[in-house]
Amino acid sequence: MSVMTELQVGLDTRSYPIWIGAGILERLAELLDGRDFPRRLALVSNPVVADLYAERLGAGLEAAGYRVERIIVPEGEEHKNLDTYRRIMTSLIESGFDRRSGLIALGGGVIGDLTGFVAATYLRGIPFLQVPTSLLAQVDSSVGGKTGVNHPLGKNLIGAFYQPRGVLIDVDTLKTLPEREFHAGMAEVVKYGVIRDRAFFDWLDDSWQRILRHDREALVHLVEKSCQTKANIVESDEKEKGLRAILNYGHTFGHAVETLAGYGEVRHGEAVAMGMKVAAEIAHRKGCCSADEVRAVCDLLQKFRLPVAPPEFALDELMAAMLRDKKVQDGRLRLVLNVGIGDCRIDEIDDPRSLFAAVLSH
């Protein structure tokens, strides 16, 4: 398959393309032609992804006249922190990168978030591109401009909104993704169906076997649908003042699980799947959805081999972690709840401790 789809994230002067296809990694230089992107680049990656794809990506760029240097940082969520951020910054400063330079994030969500935050803050902002190689990054974190690092007390508490100049998504990179990481990425895909698109949810339910076989046509379709959904939401609410907060479905509880388990122990998508089950159970208690719809959400997550039962943390620990969440306002916990399947709403929770106690003991 050589067909490529191009979507657009419409943000006025900060609009950018998302290129989606199979076997398109080497086409980046061609796609950048005429886009006034810097010719001196630092390609940021981790050792595993760099060994697989950095040479292919860099060779095409260098053949087109770009100067490409590599910055390799450790793999894993536990390295998405200020220490790694400082290492990248030091490499750029020592190599003399200036405001006419750019960055490429080649890797999963950790690399994308880190590189984007460096781009947002190096010399007060330089251009960057996202080349996501994990499913989670392709369908979620590479689009929308959220960048940042974790703090020991909470996930993504340090960061900035900073849009890339473009996103190149080659679904063929998913062939080398560990199965656990692929399954984790499907949590964010299912999320789009639950909160926004019943027809897409039903397609996922019909197509789950093709998706798990890594059928290229199915993968391109699910990435395109996911990115289009997210782009539409980001265009309406870039900095999460309202509508964009619905993308946090399952994330309040999920981030608490990640924090308490220790970054990297539970994959982000696995934690979000647990959070989606909790959110659906709360939605059912509040009359937003039926018991059958809760089961449908959990069944689809489990078809993609995702856990829905959370680890047994103390309720006090979970509450403390959730109340440090970025979405807390004036000390009040706000949760995204599905309304049936295909819609959602945001509720302020008056008595979150008793509500979570009831759901988690269920």
Mean pLDDT of all residues belonging to the chain: 94
Q: How far is CA 307 from CA 22, 124, 138, 209, 313, in A?
A: 29, 41, 21, 18, 16
Is 241 assigned a catalytic role?
no
Express each pLDDT in 109-149 by its tens digit.
999 999 999 999 999 999 999 999 999 999 999 999 999 99
Catalytic (active site) residue 303? no
pTM: 0.92
Q: Give the three-class secondary structure for 221.
A: helix
Can you say which residues are annotated as belonging to the binding site?
A: 75-80, 109-113, 133-134, 146, 155, 173-176, 188, 251, 268
Direct distance between the N- and C-terminal alpha carbons of the chain, in angstroms, rounded to an integer: 47
Catalytic residue among 150, 181, 188, 224: 188
Region 167-193: what's the mean pLDDT? 97
Q: Which residues are annotated as a binding site for NAD(+)?
A: 75-80, 109-113, 133-134, 146, 155, 173-176
pLDDT at 241: 85
Q: Are 111 and 131 in contact (CB under 8 A)?
A: no
What residue type is 128 in one-letter code? F
Q: What are the helix (H) ranges across 64-197?
A: 82-94, 109-121, 135-136, 179-196
Whether 317 is a known active-site residue: answer no
146 annotated active-site: yes
pLDDT confidence of residue 298: 98
Which range (106-120, 175-189, 265-279, 329-343) has the least confidence?
Answer: 329-343
Is 240 a catalytic site residue? Answer: yes
183 in catalytic set? no
Catalytic option among 181, 224, 238, 240 = 240
> What pLDDT, on the 0 to 100 scale, is given for residue 1?
44
Which residues carry a binding-site annotation for Zn(2+)?
Answer: 188, 251, 268
Q: Mark whether 244 is an active-site residue.
A: yes
Question: Whose CA is closest to 174, among 108, 116, 76?
Answer: 108
For the ranges 151-160, 213-222, 237-246, 327-336, which has the lowest average pLDDT?
A: 327-336
Q: Which of 191, 196, 221, 251 is catalytic?
A: 251
Residue 263: what pLDDT? 80
Distances 277 to 115, 309, 337 between C-alpha atoms, Å: 32, 8, 10
C-alpha to C-alpha distance for 168 and 230, rounded to whole angstroms:
16
Residue 318 has pLDDT above 80, yes or no: yes
Strand pairing class (333-339; 343-349): antiparallel
Residue 326 has pLDDT above 90, yes or no: no
- Stretch 93-112: mean pLDDT: 97
Ordered domains of the chain (ranges, CATH): 4-176 (3.40.50.1970), 182-360 (1.20.1090.10)
